[in-house]
Amino acid sequence: MITKTLSVDRADFEARTGWQLKPEGACKGDICIPLAEQPEGDTLQLESIAEQLNLPLIHDEAHGLWALGPESLSSRALATVEAPNLTLPTLDGDTFELHSLRGKKVVLVAWSPY
Amino acid sequence: MWQAFREDVKDQGVEVVTVGIDTAGAEACRHFIEAANPTHPSLIDEHHRVAELFGVVNIPNAVWIDEQGMIVRPAETSPAPPSVGVERTPNQRAMDEPPARVVEMMTHASQITYDAPTYEAAMRDWIANGTDSQFALAPAEVIERSGPRSVDTARGHAHFEMATHLELAGEHQAAIGHFRLAHELVPDNFAYRRQAWSLEPSVEGPLARFWQGPLEGQEADWPYESDWITDVKEMGAANYYTEWKP
């Protein structure tokens, strides 16, 4: 997740990271991590939430940008087997959401033109 | 070919989704997608979200997801199904007189091994039998096989996203520094390296993105620690893809 400010929109954070902020904590799949500080309202303080979920937050000072990386909870790339709602554009710029295929098996294949 | 495979299995409750991972975006992918003419979703992933989210480390890599949205096989080498026709992408066309670097790359590439029929058979078994298939893995096994993710590799993914963001903002030189950190911190991700190499200036024409290394006589200007040929020599072409486990 790229941001110019450390105050970020809660819905953006949830969509981009897959972490849902619930009363019981930050949840992804079958994992819930209790938060010491309950976020309130529609804006999150990224430094606090990053620290609590142990998400790397890097800063490019020259360009005034922050990048928030993923979790490393299980020491493996996947923390849970619940597939995230991968949301990407098609060739024509339409938005596709992986969750639209619930009820079907999916073979998700990565390729590249280089 | 994935499109032909998809047409073959589409009535069995399965969908193929292809994801073109390229910071150069839709226009770089368009030629290949239009040639394949897919009837399945075909997506563009400029920031390699599939690396961070699914542990994709190379191409082709595939993830299997069941009807409930649960991953039953994490990212692994996924040769295109051979029973429904051989894939011929535009870059595989024969060239009359390829440059020496490309000849060397093709020599190494010809030694890269994978077992496409076995992978296709496993996929068809899962499509037919679902959770009863021996190839649908238990959750703990899926997580275990999904590849390492330390605090450092997580930071490497953040640097990669910063790099792709800067690249798309026209800040190529600034992107290089973050690409380099991503390469160092996520060493098992070969797609991260190939992506950065493919964005460097090289020869004119259709080979430009495949050059993936310094031009002859301009080695001192190459901004990365390695390049395609150096890396593949070091790992050995036979180890380019990790061996598929049932």
pLDDT digits (tens, 9 = 90+) for B52-110: 999 999 999 999 999 999 999 999 999 999 988 765 555 555 667 889 999 999 999 99
Q: Backbone phi, then psi, for B137, in 5-degree steps?
A: -90, 155
What was the pLDDT predicted at B99? 93
| Mean pLDDT across A80-103 | 97
Alpha-carbon distance of A37 to A52, in angstroms, equals 9
Helix (H, G, I), strand (E, B) or coil at B55: coil
pLDDT at A97 over 90: yes
Q: Which residues pair with B114 in a beta bridge?
A: none
User: Has this prediction a pTM greater than 0.80?
Assistant: yes
What was the pLDDT predicted at A74? 87
What was the pLDDT predicted at A39? 83
pLDDT at B149 over 80: yes
Alpha-carbon distance of A26 to A38, in angstroms, equals 10
Judge contact between A78 and B142, C-beta under 8 A. Answer: yes
Cβ neighbours of A61 in B, within 8 Å = none
Helix (H, G, I), strand (E, B) or coil at A32: strand
CA-based nearest distance A17→chain B, Å? 9
Sign, CA torsion B33/B38/B44/B48: negative
Strands, sheet with B61-65, edge to edge from the N-terminal-most edge strand = B42-45, B14-21, A105-111, B61-65, B71-77
| Mean pLDDT across B208-225 | 96
Task: Say whether the ipTM exceeds 0.85.
Answer: yes
Beta carbons of B19 and A89 less than 8 Å apart: no
**A110 at B interface, C-beta within 8 A:** yes
User: Which of B18, B126, B174 lies nearest to residue A111, judging by beta carbons?
Assistant: B18
* pLDDT classification of A38: cutoffs 50, 70, 90: confident
CA-based nearest distance B161→chain A, Å? 7
For the residues of B166-178, what is the DSSP string, one character each?
HHHTT-HHHHHHH
Tokens of B4: 């032909």
**B77 at A interface, C-beta within 8 A:** no
| Mean pLDDT across B144-156 | 97
Q: Which residues pair with A26 in a beta bridge?
A: A21, A33
Tokens of A94: 């339409």
Q: Peptide bond preceding B139: is omega within 30 degrees of 0, i.e. cis? A: no
Judge contact between B101 and B20, C-beta under 8 A. Answer: no
User: Which of A62, A90, A104 lies nearest to residue B13, judging by beta carbons?
Assistant: A104
What was the pLDDT predicted at A60? 98
Report the amino acid identity of residue B83: S
pLDDT, tens digit, for every residue of B166-179? 999 999 999 999 99
Candidates B15, B9, B207; CA nearest to A113 is: B207
What was the pLDDT predicted at B91? 53
User: Which of A90, A104, A112 lies nearest to residue B67, judging by beta carbons?
Assistant: A104
pLDDT, tens digit, for every residue of B103-139? 999 999 999 999 999 999 999 999 999 999 999 999 9
Residue of A nearest to B46 (CA): A88
